[in-house]
Amino acid sequence: MDQIKEYLEQIVKVSDKDWELFSSKLKKVECKKRTTLLKIGKVENHLSFIEKSSIRLFIPKEENDLTFGFCFKGQFMSAYDSFLTQLPSTYQTETLTDATLWRLTFNDLQDIYKSTEIGNIVGRKTAENLFLMKSQREQSLLNDTAEKRYLNLFTERPQLIKEIPLKYLASYIGVTPQALSRIRKRIS
């Protein structure tokens, strides 16, 4: 849980009282790789800090899933759209590797927003960061070629390319696995 406190402290000074409330809500969950955390159509009830694991977000498809995001250790993750709106999720979440998570429910978080000094500040900063990430991604999807996006991944997250099946990366980049295979051939 130290990791989580550190994470919060990066955003705003956390009083002992606030940390006591916050940490009392966290529940530890462990699961195997390829575990579905949230099924499409279900309402997301959790915000999860990833102590260990890589997780993918995807829309399941007959042939190839549309994988549009990854989350890694040291971050919070959630089907945040569904979590915020409390409407059925349009996508699914799944662990890629064995996982250790610390989970908070929707109601827990509403309590935190009401009862702590820092809740709304952390919530605001978190949403702002998510916005910034999506914003960058939008520009990349409109501006860059699939090849450029692949090369960017290569430089920004070299371990990703080793750990994660190419077909998920292909989808994330916005092309079919066949097209990514051709891109890789062209580059090397």
Distance CA 176, CA 64 (A): 8
State the minimum distance, in angstroms, from the CB of residue 175 to DNA. Answer: 4
User: Considering only 3-11, 87-95, 121-129, 144-152, which stretch makes contact with DNA by CB under 7 A?
Assistant: 144-152
Cα separations in angstroms, 20 against 1, 14, 25, 64, 161: 12, 10, 9, 44, 39
Residue ranges in contact with a copy of itself by CB under 8 A: 59, 66, 68, 80-81, 84-85, 90-91, 113, 120-121, 123-124, 127-128, 130-132, 134-139, 141-143, 171, 174
Residue 152 interacts with, from DNA, a copy of itself, none (CB under 5-8 Å by kind): none
CA neighbor of 46 nearest in space, from 130, 102, 123, 112: 102
The interface region with DNA, picked from 23-31, 95-103, 105-113, 173-181 by CB under 7 A, is: 173-181
What is the distance in angstroms between the CA of the first residue and the CA of the last residue of the chain? 43
Residues that bind DNA (CB under 7 A): 145-147, 165-167, 174-185
